[in-house]
Chain A
Amino acid sequence: MGDLRLDANWVDYLLVVVYFAVVLLIGAAARRRVSDSLDFFLSGRSLPAWVTGLAFISANLGAVEIIGMSANGAQYGMPTMHYFWVGAVPAMLFLGVVMMPFYYGSKVRSVPEFMRRRFGTGAHLVNAVSFAVAQVLIAGINLFLLASIVEALLGWPLWLSLIVAAAVVLSYITLGGLSAAIYNEVLQFFVIVAALTPLTLIGLHRVGGVGGLIDKVRESGNGEQLTSWPGTELSTFDSPVWSVIGIVFGLGFVLSFGYWTTNFVEVQRAMATKSMSAARATPIIGSFPKMFVPFVVVVPGIIAGVLVPEISKLKQGQESGLDYNDSMLGLIRDVLPNGLLGVAIAGLLAAFMAGMAANISAFNTVFSYDLWQQYVKKDRPDGYYLAVGRWATVGATVVAIGTALIASGYSNLMDYLQTLFGFFNAPLFATFILGMFWKRMTATAGWTGLVSGTLAAVVVAVLSEDALGAASTGALPLSGQGASFVAASAAFVVDILVSVAVTTVTRPKPVHELAGLVYSETPREQRTDPDAHRLPWYQSPTKLAGISLVMVVVLNVIFR
């Protein structure tokens, strides 16, 4: 994080300390209600949809999103909006409208468990193990960013910040399980909005309003960064037509559907609701705040590009003490007075902590239900798995500290690892969607499709110029985001081709085992909510999804 220092005074510290006290109180309060393992892992399936909807996007609004997307905003400008309007909202709506009925209706406790019931243990192991490993490593990245903020703020050495931050996260998840994680995510959402909204408004005021910002970006010679399409700088494709295709198909379809519809960190929040309608509404309700998040994350990045001296130097191609990842913190340093500074620090710490907590709570569910119960110790009493879940949390936190220490030494390595995990996501969507709508698809096709799709993505990454750093050979003229769009698309296409080919030569599962898992074999009552027609429009998933879709199209047109 460069050599950034924030001038916090005692008021700022007070606000931060109060936040942490509330977080620990929530953990303790949630503990009183944890009575069985379903309570601990899925909040007893009892939360209202607006809570899980906010938790749904909050779980994703971690360090990677806030630091990464404001950095992209500073570097590329408006095309960064695609990560939200093209790369998130449509997939979230699809999850709620099409896929959630299968996840919720089949009563599985995790996404890998759906995989096991549909395709058996081969695909299940691939999915559960890659997910569990990815979560622990990503938790480590969140923890590292969290600790580096504490370091910038308090001047504590990194190892001490790491242990203190990990201890706080650990205590509230082991105490309260998923309920505590979700409640904190909701709280974190409001704190981060309370911090970033004034930051954006004051920043805009300082540069002379929206008009002033536009003029200043033009003056600095980056006028093309004011329009979101065709985004050639982002996609790294020279041709505007291919850039649009790459963004719509690569980012908007393959990458984002792979991430949002199969990632258990997200889906777990919807599973914690009390009814099918609430489960379906979770990602759809989340899509409304999601489409406005970039205004307080990407726009501050753009402002930092013209207002923070070190960042605007970077944009002119000069050396400076900071890098793009410091855009958000640089702007906070330059425009927020003491007081609001404390809210901002609390909000950032909260976001990074919630990101890590989301990774860990999804990890402990998959570890206890999908790996331990399935492959190690079957048929133990419920309390046994609750204990396993608590120990898994402790273990994952310790491993995350290790990962964070590695990340502090080799920041590039962590980037490549994240790219690699992206490759596991891309073919997952292909396998899920084929499996949900094509009853003939066989168990062998399930795991062979996943493995070959992942391999296809890795091959493209190795042939590209820089997707895997020194491991990339440069045989294909692809780099940056463009390389990941193509890698993910290759994974998707290869997965479909292999799945179809293998299905034709292997034996399908008996039809009666597919109830609840495949569209044509699921009775209507099981995939719909019998009370659905009695719900008012603001609780009806499909109507809300329609409104959300219209709004995101309008946003794309306004900011084209």
Chain B
Amino acid sequence: MSTPARQPSGRQHAAGAFDVRNVIAGLIGFYGVVLVLVGLFGESAADREKTGDVHANLWSGLVMVVVALAFFLWTRLRPIVVEPTHEPGEGTDDGSA
């Protein structure tokens, strides 16, 4: 991810919503919130029997929310800067110009 010697050339911008970490955070976070809600308000006796009396939805949901927050923080702290599009065959760092 880090290429120290690269020249800053052309138009650069943060990846923003296209950064896959934000997509992961969004989806897993949404799943987490839904599961927490189901765990708090929608658990049936049949569900409890399946899980062997564990609050499976609630706990899984909480873990997912934490993971989502971690991804969100990571994106905030280390944003990806998108390089302008390269010519085909160019844009590698292996020194073979």
Contacts and interface: CB of A to CB of B under 8 A. Distances in A.
Interface residues of B, number: 48
Nearest to B17: A29
Contact of A51 (B20, B34, B54, B64): B20
B3 A191 contact: no
Interface in A536-551: 539
A384 interface: no
A381 to B, nearest CB: 12
Contact of B24 (A14, A33, A190, A202): A190
A15 B34 contact: yes
B27 A18 contact: yes
Nearest to A101: B94
Contacts of B83: 46
Interface stretch (A61-69, A392-400, A525-533): A525-533
Interface string B53-81: 01011011100100100000000000010
A205 B54 contact: yes
Interface string A101-134: 0001101000000000000000000000000000
Given A39-B85, A194-B31, A48 B23 contact: no
A45 B96 contact: no
A466 B80 CA distance: 52
A183 interface: yes
Q: Is the interface of B mostly helix, strand, loop or mixed?
A: helix
Interface string A1-32: 00000000001001100110010001001100
Q: Is the interface of A mostly helix, strand, loop or mixed?
A: helix
B96 A525 contact: yes
B76 to A, nearest CB: 16
A419 interface: no
Contacts of A526: 94-96
Nearest to B58: A339
Contact of B47 (A14, A29, A36, A338): A338
A507 interface: no
B3 A531 contact: yes
B96 A337 contact: no
Given A45-B86, A336-B50, A340-B60, A107 B20 contact: no
A38 B17 CA distance: 23
A276 B91 CA distance: 11
A539 B93 CA distance: 15
Given A46-B83, A48-B1, A186-B24, A198 B94 contact: no
A337 B85 contact: no
A187 B52 contact: no
B13 to A, nearest CB: 12
Contacts of B93: 274-277, 529-531
B8 interface: no
Nearest to B48: A337
B94 A529 contact: yes
Interface in A183-214: 183, 186-187, 190-191, 194, 197-198, 202, 205-206
A531 B4 contact: yes
Contacts of A276: 92-94
A30 B18 CA distance: 8
Contacts of B2: 539
Contacts of B42: 11, 338-339
A11 B23 contact: no
Interface in A314-340: 334-340
B10 to A, nearest CB: 13
B51 interface: yes
Interface in B8-45: 17-18, 20, 23-24, 26-28, 30-31, 34-35, 38-39, 42-44
B63 to A, nearest CB: 8
Contact of B60 (A29, A30, A198): A198
A37 B56 CA distance: 46
Contacts of B61: 339
Contact of A274 (B3, B27, B51): B3
7 contacts: A36-B85, A38-B86, A190-B27, A194-B67, A198-B59, A335-B51, A525-B95
**A-B pairs with the 7 shortest C-beta distances?**
A337-B47, A339-B38, A275-B93, A38-B88, A48-B1, A339-B57, A276-B94
